[in-house]
A and B are shown apart, each in its own frame.
Chain A
Amino acid sequence: MQVTGASDRLEAGGPMKEVLQRADRAVATAETAVLVFVVATILVLAFAQVVLKMLGAGVQWVEMLSRYLVLWVGFLGGAVASHQGRHITIDVVSRFVKGPAARAVSAVVSGVSFALCAVLLVISCSFVSQKVSDGSVAFAVGATDIPEWGMVLVVPVGFGLMAWHFAVQTLGPVQAEQGGGA
């Protein structure tokens, strides 16, 4: 397992590439903002539920919502990890390969990652559309049923975002901004 920051090598590139990379950072900033909000929500909901349960008044939807939000953390966190190049990898080759060869390897890996995320995006879209058509309910808040597709929508969105980040990275390593965040 290796957890590293995205390489900060600077490369010459056309204006198009720069625009794309700037867009990439903007997307990541938005992802981070939503991610932080979702985590804060989980923290509050999970603790509230424990207190409510101790008082013998556990609320079903609070618990269900906090569990579904874990899915959101997974995909949004995964998207930010894709942007920062911080996914968990086995990565033996890069310890022995340096220079242009290393850049070629990382471009290939980014390309394949993009392709796989695109495939998973398509499959997850059909998964969500099935949820829409069968009308399954995730949980009910009072008398209002929250449809399950609304909760799992983050799956295709997440794969879409990851596909985007990997696509931009095929152009070369993105300089991840540090310290930013929401």
Chain B
Amino acid sequence: MTVLLAQGFVILLALMGLPLFLVLAALALLGYLDSGQSVALFFASNIRPVATNPIFLAIPLFTLAGYLMAESGAPNRIVRLSRAAVGWMPGGLAIVALVACAGFTAFTGASGVTIVALGGLLMPALLKDGYPDRFALGLLTTGGSRGLLFPPSLPLIVYAMIAGLAMEGASQMRLDAGPASAEVASETPARSARSDVEKALDDELDRIMGEREQEVREPQGEPKKSDEAAGEEIDVEAEVAAMRAAPPAQDSATGTPEVVAEAPASGQAPAQVSVDRLFVAGALPGAFALTLVGLYTMFIGVRQRVPRSRFDGRELARAIRSTAWELPIPLIIVVGIYGGFFTAIDAAAIVAAYVFVVEVLIYRDIAFRALGRIFRESMVLVGGILLILMSALALTNYFIDREVPQKLFALIRDSITSPFTFLLILNGFLLVVGCLMDIFSAILVVVPIITPIALHYGIDPIHLGIVFLTNLEIGFSTPPVGVNLFVGALAFRRPVVELYRATLPFLAISLIALIAITYWPDLSLFLVRWTGVR
């Protein structure tokens, strides 16, 4: 009772502006106290992941790359290129803005700098071309999160990491520490001196991290072990089990990817959530949503009779030449990750180093003097996110320990029977969450609870991730606390209420896209199956 009161008090403080990482930390500590666990567990559950999981490395690297690009002349060059490439289409400059915003958001890992970097540039130009003021405002404000589903967006990375942990917790209970975990535990020679709690966590993490971690730890390890690398063991076993169960004729007809995709439905261990898979999965749904907004933009453009630029091959060539050094960046990510040459974390390192060399040494857009400030600015954001992540990991640990997802599932099992009903209710729930919470806290608090329940309904965790992120993309621009609205209000010097109205048509279109993405799982899963990325 006292604990419940204290937790209520913490929520109140949260509304008063207590930093989110402290809110989550306080809730976790109170939870530990309540369930009679040692508060020392707080750090056992989160320091190790941050210190050893390679996913966390991607966050500072991509954010740094984004900030460097935002501070350089890249926004100008990207707008020029977009104009030369798509300015001739009906909708003219608005289409340019849409494409540039999506591209830039994806580049910068959706860290919220898009509106600041491109908004000031595009807003006056849109008005000059005769677009209605409200339309331009809405387009640019919602544009700040438009590229959320394209790699390397930061929420995509964070989702993969948290959902991986949550699924680990869920499968651990179901498999009851089966042969997979026993094998992993036996091959950790350097870690014998640790407490049982930490060891269990280590094993959990090793499995999530998959072969990358294993390769680094044991460079000369036996090939057999690195073959069945930790992260895929559940996957592989489920696959084998499914193949054994299925008659051979059907087996050859459906192929392996199908078997994996069917595994969750048949109650087997589900497909693995990894950053790489989410990166691949987001492409089609993201493009779909972008196309819908594009059509609306064209409609407005035609109705307003805005001027279009004539397609000029020479200007396009010049624009391409001016961005010649930046154009390979998406290629690095797309070819590298989609082609399976390297991981998202490798891509982060390559992109960050590349952007640094290009913007500072080749274009010389950024003076050496400014580097300290840019590094600091980007890392203040990263520090804030990492601290929230760590607190949330501790809270997740508590939720899973208290079997909160199972209890919630038991509560709704009788009233919600079909996965479609579940997804519908989930969408409603997430939209409310998106309005009230920022994207990172929403992922961190809600995903661990939702993922195990969704698995019970046989929903593919990758599909769930895309649905989840699409919801939050809408939430980014939804009143009252969508972050885009406040950044937009600052960038355009307009009252927030005006932005509320301006974003409404765009939110309506996003909702249509959301419904399609929710009830058409193949849109998200087709590319994953086709490319076979793990």
Residues of A whose CB lies within 8 Å of any CB of B are: 1-3, 32, 35-36, 39-40, 42-43, 46-47, 49-50, 53, 58, 60, 63-64, 66-68, 70-71, 73-82, 84, 86-94, 105-106, 108-109, 112-113, 116-117, 119-120, 123-124, 126-127, 130, 134-138, 151-152, 155, 179-182
Contacts and interface: CB of A to CB of B under 8 A. Distances in A.
Given A1-B483, A67-B56, A42 B61 contact: yes
Given A1-B438, A80-B379, A91-B17, A86 B372 contact: no
Given A86-B384, A90-B15, A123-B42, A71 B51 contact: yes
Given A1-B481, A43-B352, A67-B56, A73 B47 contact: no
A41 B436 CA distance: 37
Interface string B429-465: 0000000111111000000000000000000000000
Contacts of A123: 39-40, 42-43
Given A35-B375, A67-B56, A88 B440 contact: yes
Given A73-B379, A89-B18, A89-B19, A67 B440 contact: no
Contact of A42 (B22, B57, B215, B385): B57
A43 B356 CA distance: 9
B61 A46 contact: yes
A166 B68 CA distance: 30
B314 interface: no
Contacts of A75: 383, 387
A43 B480 CA distance: 37
A81 B383 contact: yes
A32 B373 CA distance: 9
B382 A89 contact: no
Contacts of A82: 19
A171 B110 CA distance: 35
A151 B439 CA distance: 30
A50 B21 contact: no
Nearest to B487: A3
22 contacts: A36-B375, A39-B379, A40-B375, A42-B57, A43-B352, A46-B352, A47-B353, A58-B219, A77-B380, A78-B384, A86-B380, A88-B384, A88-B440, A90-B23, A91-B15, A91-B17, A94-B17, A105-B16, A105-B17, A109-B16, A113-B22, A130-B40
A129 to B, nearest CB: 11
B26 interface: yes
B346 A50 contact: yes
Given A74-B386, A109-B13, A113-B18, A64 B216 contact: yes
A126 to B, nearest CB: 6
Interface of A is mostly: helix
B175 to A, nearest CB: 28
A135 B191 CA distance: 10
B388 interface: yes
A96 to B, nearest CB: 10
B125 interface: no
Contacts of A73: 60, 379, 382-383, 386
A116 B384 contact: no
Interface of B is mostly: helix
Interface in B337-383: 342, 346, 348-350, 352-353, 356, 371-373, 375-376, 378-383
Contacts of A84: 380
B486 A2 contact: yes
Given A58-B215, A78-B383, A151 B18 contact: no
Nearest to B352: A43
Contacts of A53: 346
Nearest to B44: A127
Interface in B500-534: none
B59 interface: yes
A117 B21 CA distance: 10
Interface in B210-224: 215-217, 219
Given A39-B375, A63-B216, A127-B43, A46 B57 contact: yes
Contacts of B350: 47, 50
B379 A77 contact: yes
Given A3-B483, A80-B383, A86-B384, 4 more contacts: A39-B64, A58-B219, A71-B47, A93-B16
Nearest to A136: B193
A64 B219 CA distance: 13
Given A39-B379, A67-B53, A71-B50, A50 B437 contact: no
Contact of B51 (A47, A50, A130, A152): A152
A120 B391 CA distance: 11
A74 B50 contact: yes
A119 to B, nearest CB: 7
B325 to A, nearest CB: 17
Nearest to A117: B22
Across chains A and B, which 6 residue pairs bring their CB atoms closest together, nearest first? A77-B383, A1-B438, A74-B386, A87-B19, A46-B349, A47-B353
Contact of B17 (A50, A93, A127, A180): A93
A145 B381 CA distance: 32
Contacts of A109: 13, 16-18
B96 to A, nearest CB: 28
B190 interface: yes
Given A2-B483, A80-B376, A127-B47, A42 B17 contact: no
Contacts of A71: 47, 50-51, 386
